[in-house]
Structure 1
Amino acid sequence: MPSATHIRPRDTRSPLSALHGARPSRRGLLAGGLGAAALLGLTACGADDSGGPSTAGGSGAAGWSFTDDRGRTVRLSRRPKRIAFLTDTVGAALWAAGLHPVAATDSGQGIVPAVKPDWSGVAKIYSADKGVRIEALAQARPDLLIDAVQPDGTLQVASQLPAVTKIAPVVGLSTYRSIEQIAGTADRLTGSLGARLADTGAKTRYEEAGSRLRKAVAADKELRVGFVFGIDKNTIGVMNPKTWAVLKTVSALGMRLLPVPGGADNTYSQAVSWENVPSLPVDLLVWAVSDPLPDNPLWKRTPAVRAGQLWKPDLSSWYAYSWENFTVLLDGLATHVQSAHAGVGPRTTS
């Protein structure tokens, strides 16, 4: 999902029925980064592989511990006070939860600014050509590092891990889960580190938005929704419901999503050539993660677009996993689902 940008796993060529196209690259959406390497052992902290997902965290006379999303428990003699965020997405979620780091990445993709962080006293450690700037990270003297976990269990900063773990132990948080799990883990980790949650009402507002969307979906169970984005002048991408946090969330609320047949949990999306776009079996289209909307005759001939059943969310970033950011998304989806009608798109691909 690179050290500062959130690189999703590579795509597989799993055809969307009769739809064909070149495989999209995550690097085409977010610039720069590190190649995924095999995960190396954590050398700067104790690890207990018997732990579960990120549900444990605390401090006291026995010190501090937290079980991350790889099932590894980081144990320290005292609660960490100087925290560094190695990845935009994880950093944005934790910043939104109220955790103020001594060092953080901002790759310029709009992910971090979406949560309006306070950069006072924070060292910027991202370099477009090198990823995490190891010297700058070391100078910030962190006692805990937090990075994103990819679907294969590796940390996003995997290729720099030997150098990184000489500075401080690493906690890994996955952003390949539902929004509730991602933001919930950010809240728990923030609390375990002694920080006050930034907005205690944000989760409640998010849950209310989720309830509105669930009711809207239940009122028209046949409505088919496709989340798509631009890849290049020849293709668009259909987002895989098994991979994206947003799609996992709305699927759990009952939304009927355009599938990616054969798409594994680490398949980012399926490419669809323009001549096949009008054949997509969807009634409502959501244009995501890319700008601008297509200016293509085939797009304009797509039944959902012709019917006005199209939404391009006005979000700063699809990758800032905070309660507040995704309350906006769920509210907008509820509004558009309520006004859309099933049966607009083709029943089958041809």
Structure 2
Amino acid sequence: MAGGVGTLLALAACGESAPAPVATAAQTSAAPAGPWTFTDDRGKKIELPRRPTRVVAQVGSAAALWDFGIRPVAVFGPHKLKSGEKDPQVGNVDITKVTGLGNVWDEFNVEQYIALQPELLVSSMYVKGTLWYVPDKSKDTIEQVAPTAGVMLTGQSAAQVIGKYAELAQSLGADLNAPEVSSAKARFEAATEELKKISATGLKVLMMSGGPDTMWVVNPPEYPDIVHLTQSGLDVVTPDKVDEGGFFQSLSWENADKYDADVILYDARTQALKLEEMMKKPTFAKLLAVKAGHVYPWRAEAPFSYQGYADYLEELVANLKKAGQES
């Protein structure tokens, strides 16, 4: 493997030099001087002689860092739809200004990655030690090219994850007191307070995802966004039995009425079954929340930034208020 990496590095060196990173208003003007250290959620302490500026990130991490003012040079993971438009997962990242190293699972262009001369790779983790969308087949090579940093999602609250990305972004030169960051944080906090008020009314919420033959009821403790909702007092259905892995309970559509709820939040990601398709499932269509029109999107992959979660929570609060008024 080491020989292969050496060959790829040599080939990259013969090519054109990689583009320079782009600075933003939310980044400090100081040059990346002196040693740089960061301890990620694996407990891994990364030490470099200077602050890295050439950052490559999985799309979820890129979206979070972007909102804090850090501009990755490349992304990997779903960032472009078949139509050519941005995948919602990539948030506010301008995909015309970053290199795409892969757009689907198990796709990562290692040669292109090396040619970019990366100084740091960032990705979230659902399983500790496993960087999301870094393929097993090439992870050893990728690890040899540049240090990697992982941010844990499972078992954390959204506020904790946002805090970790804020810590990383600040270490990379972001100004957490920049107006756009401060404003987004204030919106996030205000929306959370509104959510607490709505939660006190006792609305029960079911959060789910759909496939052609299966309805998945999500298990709240495993999702940072839902942990934030439940910590704010929202009554979210917890399945009485979860599948291996702990993330959800699989039900046939015939059993879609297993749990009662006033509101249903459905997975709005591109890979999930669309609401109009779920409405064709007789048992789902007969649910009281569905008949009442209290079915709203669950933004399962909102960027872990104050801006991303302000947008998410403001939409959710508006929908829950509507459901509460109509109940």
Quickly name the TM-score band, shorter chain normalised: 0.7 to 0.9
Q: CA, structure 1 residues 288+61, in 2 after alignment: closer, same or farther (shift >3 Å)?
A: closer
Q: What's 1:24 paired with?
A: none
Q: What's 2:189 paired with?
A: 207
Aligned residues of 1:202 and 1:324 also touching (Cα < 8 A): yes
Aligned residues of 1:213 and 1:253 also touching (Cα < 8 A): yes
Q: What's 1:88 paired with?
A: 59
Q: Which amino acid aligns with 1:206?
A: F
Q: Which amino acid aligns with 2:287?
A: T
Aligned residues of 2:38 and 2:45 also touching (Cα < 8 A): yes
Q: What's 1:155 paired with?
A: 131
Aligned residues of 1:88 and 1:111 also touching (Cα < 8 A): no
Q: How many angstroms apart in 2 are the aligned matches of 1:103 and 1:262?
A: 40
Unaligned 5+ runs, structure 2 = 1-30, 82-86
Q: How many angstroms apart in 1 are the aligned matches of 2:232 and 2:147?
A: 37
Q: How many angstroms apart in 1 are the aligned matches of 2:128 and 2:305?
A: 24
Q: How many angstroms apart in 1 are the aligned matches of 2:106 and 2:287?
A: 42
- 1:229 lines up with 2:209 in the alignment: yes
Aligned residues of 2:76 and 2:108 also touching (Cα < 8 A): yes
Q: Quote how far apart the aligned CAs of 1:131 are.
A: 1.9
- 1:139 lines up with 2:115 in the alignment: yes
Q: Quote how far apart the aligned CAs of 1:308 are.
A: 2.6
Q: CA, structure 1 residues 139+112, in 2 after alignment: closer, same or farther (shift >3 Å)?
A: farther
Q: How many angstroms apart in 2 are the aligned matches of 1:73 and 1:264?
A: 34
- 1:173 lines up with 2:151 in the alignment: yes
Aligned residues of 2:242 and 2:250 also touching (Cα < 8 A): no
Q: How many angstroms apart in 2 are the aligned matches of 1:340 and 1:329?
A: 17
Q: How many angstroms apart in 2 are the aligned matches of 1:100 and 1:275?
A: 46
Q: CA, structure 1 residues 264+174, in 2 after alignment: closer, same or farther (shift >3 Å)?
A: farther
Q: How many angstroms apart in 1 are the aligned matches of 2:255 and 2:163?
A: 39
Aligned residues of 1:104 and 1:125 also touching (Cα < 8 A): yes
Q: How many angstroms apart in 1 are the aligned matches of 2:142 and 2:52?
A: 16
Normalized against structure 1, the TM-score is what?
0.72
Q: CA, structure 1 residues 332+265, in 2 after alignment: closer, same or farther (shift >3 Å)?
A: farther
Q: How many angstroms apart in 1 are the aligned matches of 2:106 and 2:217?
A: 31
- 1:286 lines up with 2:265 in the alignment: yes
Q: How many angstroms apart in 1 are the aligned matches of 2:76 and 2:48?
A: 24
Deviations 1:133-190 (A, max 9, x none): 1100000001111122232432232612210122111111123322212222222211
Alignment of 1:214-293 (within 5 A): 214-218=196-200, 220-221=201-202, 223-232=203-212, 234-263=213-242, 266-289=245-268, 290-293=272-275
Q: CA, structure 1 residues 127+301, in 2 after alignment: closer, same or farther (shift >3 Å)?
A: closer
Q: What's 1:104 paired with?
A: 75
Aligned residues of 1:95 and 1:117 also touching (Cα < 8 A): no
Q: What's 1:63 paired with?
A: 35
Aligned residues of 1:96 and 1:117 also touching (Cα < 8 A): no
For 1:307, which of 277, 292, 300 is the aligned residue?
292
Q: What's 2:46 paired with?
A: 74
Which of the pair is proportionally richer in helix?
2
Q: How many angstroms apart in 1 are the aligned matches of 2:152 and 2:319?
A: 29
Q: CA, structure 1 residues 312+150, in 2 after alignment: closer, same or farther (shift >3 Å)?
A: closer
Normalized against structure 2, the TM-score is what?
0.76
Q: What's 1:44 paired with?
A: none
SS in 2 for 1:186: helix
- Runs of 4+ aligned residues of structure 1 deviating over 6 Å after TM superposition are none
Q: CA, structure 1 residues 117+182, in 2 after alignment: closer, same or farther (shift >3 Å)?
A: farther
Aligned residues of 1:81 and 1:193 also touching (Cα < 8 A): yes
Identity of aligned residues (%): 27
Aligned residues of 2:302 and 2:309 also touching (Cα < 8 A): no
Aligned residues of 2:121 and 2:148 also touching (Cα < 8 A): yes
Q: Quote how far apart the aligned CAs of 1:302 are.
A: 0.7
Q: Quote how far apart the aligned CAs of 1:341 are.
A: 5.4
Q: CA, structure 1 residues 130+259, in 2 after alignment: closer, same or farther (shift >3 Å)?
A: closer
- The count of aligned residue pairs is 278
